[in-house]
Structure 1
Amino acid sequence: ALDMTVTGRAITSEEALQWGLVTKVVDDGEALNAAFELAKQIIKHPYSCMLADRRSMLNSMSATEKYAYAFELNSLSVLPDAIQGAAQFIKENKKEKSKI
């Protein structure tokens, strides 16, 4: 990122991917379709849970490990949609019971 900042050089999508500036590269002309597909995946999950996860991720990016764990422990709560989301996750990911 410093390279881009100090030189003003444009980077390729592959460089952006390698540097972690983007998480996915799509073919030319496919960006809008890919964005809609991503949006469809995101809206399948309860909004309040997504916001809580986002807040946690953003907080932990600039925090020490100790502070990040403390933040998580202090923010633990059962959001109204969390139980529904957990039940849906279990339903969608149910596997055969272990024989152990």
Structure 2
Amino acid sequence: MNNNHVYDMIVVGGGPGGYTAALYAARAGLDTIVLEKLSAGGQMALTEQIDNYPGFENGIDGFSLAEKMQKQAERFGVRSEYAEVLRMDLTAVPKLLETS
């Protein structure tokens, strides 16, 4: 990714926890991006049937649930990029991430 944008929050990993964090950050007014190297949902996207997630009385497959999480976060302004984080410098000001 060739992007010199300075974000308020960068979430590394687009699993359920990552998109939840991104959603709350965006709702709080933070300029937020999620970086995921494979697909939204992480490991959850590979799950054939999820029966214990509230709001889906007949269950839902992991890929569909992951898409819904991504779309909901994006509705609040979260940007999603498919990229692998190659290097982080958390001592720099601002902090730096190098991606594929």
TM-score bucket of the superposed structures, by smaller chain: under 0.3
Answer with 1 or 2: which has the greater Rg.
1
TM-score normalised to structure 2 length: 0.23
Q: Which has the higher contact order (CA 8 A, sep 6+)?
A: 2
Q: Which structure: greater helix fraction?
A: 1
